[in-house]
Structure 1
Amino acid sequence: MSASSQTASSHAAPRGPLLQMLLGASVISSSAVFVKWVDIGPAASAFWRMALAAIILLFVLGQPWRRGRLRHWRPEGRVLALVMLSAAFLALDLWLWHRSILYVGVGLSTLLANFQVFVLAGVGALWLGERAGWKLWLGLSMALIGLALLLAPGWEHMDSRFRIGVAFALAAAVLYGGFLLAFRAAQARRGQTPNEALQWWLCLGAAVMLGAIVPFGGENLWPASAHDWLILTAYAAIAQVLGWLVIGRAMPKLPAGIVGLCLLLQPLLAYVWDVLLFHKQMGGIELLGIGLSLAGIFLGLARGDQPLFKAPERKADETEDTSA
């Protein structure tokens, strides 16, 4: 293969992970819809998202009844510590975000929580040595203006519950960014531990933390109907297991800023679900904000940085104990 062909191939390589990230972001955009649909408290629904996802991952992908299937599922100490740190970030993020969904709605709560794009890009550029580039910063600026346009209309007429919901969502954004960075660091060091195993430890750790919090909020932990069980199971299977397995495979191969910009697709689609399922009314200013945010995403994606955390290389004769 010629040097020019090798160069072209290396530039084309991120296309697969990029498409996976976009698919994963699209799938998890349904998260807030399930929270809105289920008749259970916000902390309890967050607990069941993580607990049921842990059960699904263990029995569908881990298959503990198969001899030797779980031999690589226990990561080394420093990797497990990073996963537990990311679980703590995620548990607090969900605790705040689920409340915000009920206070301000599906679209806006998801949009504000995804200000994590600025957390990731800022950390990546200032502390982790990523090349920012003018396209990224212009794209982020356009996205920020778009988000402001989506939030601004009618702000002075909003009640205290709405404003608290906005604050909760913005705080969740910081925690969400911390979760993504910690989990990416764990993936970069995972060695022979399959990504499914890291997801399982993440879900288990977050479920334990959320389960300890629920009683203090006066919520009933147990769903009251088969309908709620169905919604919670779908929430765990679709938003947590499917969405984050896809994202988890792509995340280590992309720069932090690109990851954040891809995930910004989540709140934009959440607005679509808000309009279609909950009949949210949108004016011209809000539509302009969505347009600017979309333009910022695609402008940011046009740059070509190298991955911050590369996926672990495996020898040709090594097999990973995980499903495809």
Structure 2
Amino acid sequence: MTQTANTANSHAMLGLVVGCVLFGMGSLIVAHVSVGAYAMAFWRLVVSTLVFVVLSKLLRQAFPMHPKAIGFALLSGAALGLDLALWHESIHAVGPGISTLLNSLQIFFLAFIGFVFYKEKQSIMQLVSLVIAVAGVGLIASPEFAHNDLAGWGFVAGIVSGACLAISMTWVRQVHSHQTVAILPLMTLVGIGGVAAVLPLMLVFDAGRIMPTSMSDVGWILVYGIVMQCMAWGVIAYSIPKLSLALTGLLLLSEPVAALVLDYFWLDKAISGMQWLGAFLTMLAIYLGSAKSKKTA
């Protein structure tokens, strides 16, 4: 039994790391494909929604019937669509590594939502982790503002994208408070909500940059929608319940780490020693805040 448990634990750890690294690599696709930030979010959600609806039908998973469950699923999708679009904007402005790190700050927005709306108590560790995160982001931002005219927008978009992700997660929680919904129908409704929210923004802000300009771009968009939105989420969702909370929080950091390393070595992003220190402090804060908030939840 012990050997079987250890094997399952190892598989879950590997799966979680692979899923997070795939997410980090997705930011490289965003940086290279010649469509706008909102258009990229739109196509990712369209592709993944088609996959989820087909799988829902094949596996005969029932869609929710409760109006509020459907409504919150669609709202969660709208928030997720904004999260993706703003994350893409941040990628274009400050690079995949920093933008992914900023998006990971969503755990602090989750803690804030829990405190304000669900009366969840905040621990000293959560407050300390927030201070560490602010210091880390400050160290990352200072050199970036010195040479990048888009740094301000990149940091705002990245941080707000994290807030949108936290809202999306909160509304998924509301779905299950009204009706238990299987994952595939839920993700189908989330995708529909995201497409509906991003579509008008794409038409306004990405005019002339909506359609991919080559078959290579089409292929990468399909990879982005199928691998990053469907497969990576599936592996992460499978792995997280099988691991301890502290280990989960640590392994989830492989996403921003992977994005930052790929940004530095693949895209030749100039990252100073001060920014590496800031990245380390920010990831430490995310780990501390994540592990503690999950324990109290």
TM-score range, shorter chain: 0.7 to 0.9
Q: What TM-score, normalized by structure 1, do the two folds share?
A: 0.75
Q: Do the aligned residues in 1 keep the contact of 2:39 with 2:202 (CA within 8 Å)?
A: yes
1:55 aligns with 2:85: no
Assess, with a 3 A threshold, how the Cα gap between structure 1 residues 303 and 101 changes in structure 2: closer, same or farther. closer
Q: Distance in 2 between matches of 1:39 and 1:223?
A: 6
Q: Do the aligned residues in 2 keep the contact of 1:121 with 1:257 (CA within 8 Å)?
A: no
Superposition deviation, residue 51 in structure 1: 0.3
Code of the aligned partner of 1:47: F
Q: Do the aligned residues in 2 keep the contact of 1:117 with 1:261 (CA within 8 Å)?
A: no
Superposition deviation, residue 50 in structure 1: 0.3
1:35 aligns with 2:23: no
234, 244, 254: which one aligns with 1:245: 234
1:118 aligns with 2:108: yes
Structure 2 match to 1:285:
274
51, 64, 67: which one aligns with 1:74: 64
Q: Distance in 2 between matches of 1:37 and 1:221?
A: 14
SS in structure 1 of the partner of residue 22 of structure 2: helix
1:276 aligns with 2:233: no
Superposition deviation, residue 196 in structure 1: 1.6
190, 205, 217: which one aligns with 1:228: 217
Superposition deviation, residue 84 in structure 1: 0.9
Assess, with a 3 A threshold, how the Cα gap between structure 1 residues 178 and 263 changes in structure 2: closer, same or farther. farther
More helix per residue: 2
99, 104, 108: which one aligns with 2:89: 99
Structure 2 match to 1:87:
77
Q: Distance in 2 between matches of 1:272 and 1:20?
A: 20
Q: Distance in 2 between matches of 1:248 and 1:188?
A: 19
Assess, with a 3 A threshold, how the Cα gap between structure 1 residues 165 and 298 changes in structure 2: closer, same or farther. closer
**Consecutive unaligned residues in structure 2, runs of 5 or more:** 1-8
Code of the aligned partner of 2:107: V
Structure 1 match to 2:133:
143
Superposition deviation, residue 104 in structure 1: 1.7
1:215 aligns with 2:203: yes
When Rg is computed on C-alpha atoms for both structures, the one with the higher figure is 1
- CA RMSD in angstroms comes to 3.5
Q: Do the aligned residues in 1 keep the contact of 2:74 with 2:192 (CA within 8 Å)?
A: no
Assess, with a 3 A threshold, how the Cα gap between structure 1 residues 209 and 297 changes in structure 2: closer, same or farther. closer
Q: Distance in 2 between matches of 1:89 and 1:269?
A: 25
Q: Distance in 1 between matches of 2:176 and 2:235?
A: 13
Code of the aligned partner of 1:211: L
Q: Do the aligned residues in 2 keep the contact of 1:136 with 1:299 (CA within 8 Å)?
A: yes
Q: Distance in 2 between matches of 1:29 and 1:188?
A: 31
Assess, with a 3 A threshold, how the Cα gap between structure 1 residues 266 and 197 changes in structure 2: closer, same or farther. same
Assess, with a 3 A threshold, how the Cα gap between structure 1 residues 304 and 150 changes in structure 2: closer, same or farther. closer
Deviates more, 1:213-222 or 1:202-211: 213-222
Assess, with a 3 A threshold, how the Cα gap between structure 1 residues 305 and 179 changes in structure 2: closer, same or farther. closer
Assess, with a 3 A threshold, how the Cα gap between structure 1 residues 133 and 209 changes in structure 2: closer, same or farther. closer
Q: Do the aligned residues in 2 keep the contact of 1:119 with 1:177 (CA within 8 Å)?
A: yes
Render the CA deviation track for 1:103-144: whole Å, top value 9, x for unaligned. Answer: 221112222233222111222244324343333333333233
Structure 2 match to 1:5:
none
Deviates more, 1:122-131 or 1:172-181: 122-131
Aligned-residue sequence identity (percent) comes to 26
Q: Do the aligned residues in 2 keep the contact of 1:110 with 1:267 (CA within 8 Å)?
A: yes
Code of the aligned partner of 1:292: L
Assess, with a 3 A threshold, how the Cα gap between structure 1 residues 260 and 121 changes in structure 2: closer, same or farther. farther
